[in-house]
Structure 1
Amino acid sequence: AQITVTELQSPYSFVNDPIEKGYFISSVNGEAETADNNGFITKLDPHGKLLNLKFIQGGKGNVTLHAPKGMAVVEHVLYVADLDTLRGFDTTTGKPVLALTIRSPTTTQPMLPQASLSDVTFDGKGHLYCSDQKANTIYRVDLATQTFSVLVTDRALAGPSGLVVHPKSGQIIAVSWDKGKISEVSPEGVVTELFSNGFFSSRFQNLRGVDFDRWGNMYVSDFTTGKVWRMSWDKRFQVIAEFLPSPGDLSIDRANNLILVPYEFAHAAEMNGLETPSDGKLKQEKRTLADYGFIPPPPKPAAEGPAKK
């Protein structure tokens, strides 16, 4: 099953609602760092059909929403990273229920007093984690007290963009925008490098999204190279889709085994069925969105023939 959603405006993140079974897509709509109060969030029904293009809209009613980026659904609240503020909205009504302003650690980086949040993820234990790409910082938010603290500030994070909590270990996985590396962060804030580009090989460029399927495979999106990678539990890498137009903050609907990918520059998003684990034999052809008619297929290499004089 493959469903494409259009009419979005610089979509950043695409998540599912495990309770109500619908889906949400955030649209920055304009400059990614500008407080212009014109961002919006689209709501889809459980079958991926459009319910409301602007279910939550900055400037309408009493909603403030500037440039919504990463999102996480916890029970009946949709949490959204919006510049320096973590916002919460009721998943049924769209009404705001939380606005928590985050301040970056000014002591270490005096030039960055304002946070700029990229992603948000839930640990299943009452905490949200938010990434601040520019400040190399991950914040922990306590939902019970609605307060935040700095979990870690570390240059080794190299511009942390997408975040996810490992469903089995509880460790935080952070993917790097600046250097294309993947790090693991403990709940105590200890950073361990999982994968990085070698001196002679650069597998990843600018990583934006990360999530796990129900079997423990990890998926990452490389915004610049247009690829989605799968890393199996035994650390084998495979490109599962390529030639994608700016794949953003992807996520996995684990219950339905779907991958949800926004395409920022194409102003669109899509959901696709994932393969279930097989016998380990790779398919001959890598799947691309051209198979579904969303983008034109890549040019075929010219057939070998006699060289022209």
Structure 2
Amino acid sequence: MALFYGWGFPIPADASQVEGLQTPQSFLADPSGEFYFISNINGEADAKDNNGFITRLDKAGKITDLHFIQGGQNGTTLNGPKGMAIVDRLLYVVDVDTLRGFDKETGRTAVIVSLEERLSRETKRPIALIDVAYDGKGTLYLSDTEADTIYRVEIARQHAVSILTKNSALAGPAGLAWNAKTDKLVAVSWNKGKILEITPDGTVSELVSNSFFSSRFNNLSGVDFDDWGSMYVSDFSAGKVWRIRPDMKFEVIAEYLSTPADIGIDRKGHLILVPYYYGNAAEMNGLERPSTGGGSRKRSLADYGFDGLKKGPDQ
């Protein structure tokens, strides 16, 4: 697959591109702003091949350890790592049917939660986890796209697992993010391109519909929020990243991207983090801050601080 940097636009000074990855699914910033993590599936998404790995980057976006956490080494099991969340010193990663927690400083395994074992009586099909989000109050939420299910994991209760909601309205939930301003979970739909909101008691409602008359999205993969309340979603098959402002204004801030997967927002550095699943690469870029006035002019892509890894027009 041909990949194009820049595609005719100047690359912003704060852009950083990462290469040498293997099917990167998720890109996450540590709250300290000192380092980043990228999950690498490295093979089939749901294969239990124990060759997945987590890459660690410094605050400049440079790789410090490509295989910071490596399946099959040092007693570590890691098959197809996907979504990630950080809680204090632990880096949580969803891995096929298991939630794993690693020490973010050393990479050592600290927590293993097998959903397949804990929910064997309640689930009638294999569990295939895709993302995880933290509510900041002790609860993790995990998405299962194929099962139309969101699971809840309560950390303080020895990582007790339960089903928050199993609902066809989720339409293949993929990326998850906790909206701190509304105190609700947001999920994006892979199958129908909808954006959904889930209350802590499991009530599902449509935040953004994607009907025949209002179709914008194809297969949504990732979602996150910036400090100003804007939501960002990645459309994997359309190759776009959208920004949805608090006033529900929709903007495509980047397009012609190569399979943007589970994006993240670095709220400390105000950067967007984009893994390119089939591009085996990733990128971090500055984001436009809210306008403070000063006249109008035509904006270019550089105003949004985004100049992603592009797909060629023939792809």
TM-score, normalised to structure 1, is 0.91
2:276 maps to 263
Number of residue-to-residue matches in the alignment: 297
Give the CA deviation at 1:211: 0.3
Structure 1: gaps (5+ residues) = 300-309
Structure of greater Rg? 1
Q: 1:131 aligns with which of 138, 143, 147?
A: 143
Q: Deviations along 1:22-53, whole A, 9 cap, x unmatched? A: 10000000000100000000000122111000
Write the letter of the residue equivalent to 1:90: D
Q: How does 1:154-303 map to 2 (within 5 A)?
A: 154-278=167-291, 283-286=298-301, 292=307, 294-295=309-310
- Considering only aligned residues, what root-mean-square deviation do their CA atoms show, in Å? 2.3
- 20-29 or 242-251, which moves further after superposition? 20-29
Write the letter of the residue equivalent to 1:237: F
Q: Distance in 2 between matches of 1:177 and 1:259?
A: 21
Structure 2: gaps (5+ residues) = 1-13
Q: Deviations along 1:162-217, whole A, 9 cap, x unmatched? A: 00010211100000000000000000000011112122342000000000000000
Percent sequence identity is: 53
Q: Deviations along 1:63-117, whole A, 9 cap, x unmatched? A: 000000000011111000100000000001000001101139677863x1x2110
Structure 1 residues 200 and 275 mapped into 2: Cα distance closer, same or farther (>3 Å)?
same
Q: 1:50 aligns with which of 59, 63, 69?
A: 63
Q: Deviations along 1:218-243, whole A, 9 cap, x unmatched? A: 00000000000000001010000000
Write the letter of the residue equivalent to 1:126: G
Q: 2:91 aligns with which of 78, 84, 99?
A: 78
Structure 1 residues 156 and 105 mapped into 2: Cα distance closer, same or farther (>3 Å)?
farther
Q: 1:39 aligns with which of 41, 45, 52?
A: 52
Q: Distance in 1 between matches of 2:297 and 2:172?
A: 33
Structure of greater relative contact order (alpha carbons < 8 Å, 6+ residues apart): 2
Q: How does 1:84-103 map to 2 (within 5 A)?
A: 84-103=97-116
Structure 1 residues 241 and 232 mapped into 2: Cα distance closer, same or farther (>3 Å)?
same
1:142 maps to 154
Write the letter of the residue equivalent to 1:137: T
Structure 1 residues 63 and 243 mapped into 2: Cα distance closer, same or farther (>3 Å)?
same
Query: Are the counterparts in 1 of residues 193 and 210 from structure 2 also a CA contact under 8 Å?
Result: yes
Give the CA deviation at 1:246: 0.2
